[in-house]
Amino acid sequence: MKMTFKPLLAILSLAMSAGASLAAGTHAGGHGHDESAIGQTGVASATTRTVQVDMSDAMRFTPSSVSAKQGETIRFVIRNSGAIKHEFVLGTEKELKEHYEVMKKFPEMEHSDPNMITLAGGETGEIIWQFTKAGKIDFACLQPGHYDAGMKGKVNVAKTRAAAAKHEHTHH
């Protein structure tokens, strides 16, 4: 029985390091990344504001720094104003670096996790994200060469009393 699962474990291990969705994930969302560290998928009706983000072939996000409040749900409207494919991926710095190394080896890998979007030149898309924890959350483009060229940014999530009280209230 152990032999049967060995290839499956190797595949799951590779998929997990690639940030792919796993049915046997570490939390309710079932994803290979630690969603609780960066927040969770937001609900459109709970969106408090929209932040426009531009991705360019100059390997930059505009803006590259966003402020949020703990508990806030933001609709990121992301536009690729360049001619080449770019991504907007939310994660911890460690996750993004690990994922980037995998992307360099497998550049054609496609993503479908709720914390990321891949857009061809001229395309626009959106991510709705709730920032449940205070602290710094990173975002980056993980297309080969782009992260190294400085295509990254951060969301600074400020701790709020209301969010802390609400968080404690919902976990009876």
Integer Cα distance of 145 and 87 in angstroms: 12
Integer Cα distance of 102 and 32 in angstroms: 14
**pLDDT for res 2:** 36
Integer Cα distance of 17 and 10 in angstroms: 11
Predicted TM-score (pTM) of the model is 0.74
**pLDDT for res 166:** 55
- Cβ pair 53, 61 in contact under 8 A: yes
**pLDDT for res 98:** 93
End-to-end CA distance of the chain: 41
Integer Cα distance of 89 and 32 in angstroms: 14
- Domain at 40, CATH number: 2.60.40.420
Long-range contacts, stretch 135-138, CB < 8 angstroms, 24+ apart: 137/38, 137/39, 137/90, 137/91, 137/92, 138/90, 138/91, 138/92, 138/93, 138/96
26 within a domain of the structure (yes/no): no
Task: Per-residue pLDDT tens, the chain, 172 aa: give them.
Answer: 333 333 333 333 334 333 333 332 333 333 444 567 899 999 999 999 999 999 999 999 999 999 999 999 999 999 999 999 999 999 999 999 999 999 888 887 776 789 999 999 999 999 999 999 999 999 999 999 999 999 999 999 999 876 555 555 454 4
88 within a domain of the structure (yes/no): yes
30 within a domain of the structure (yes/no): no
Pseudo-torsion of CA 68, 154, 100, 84, nearest 10°?
90
- Residues of the domain holding 107: 35-169
20 within a domain of the structure (yes/no): no
Domain total of the chain: 1
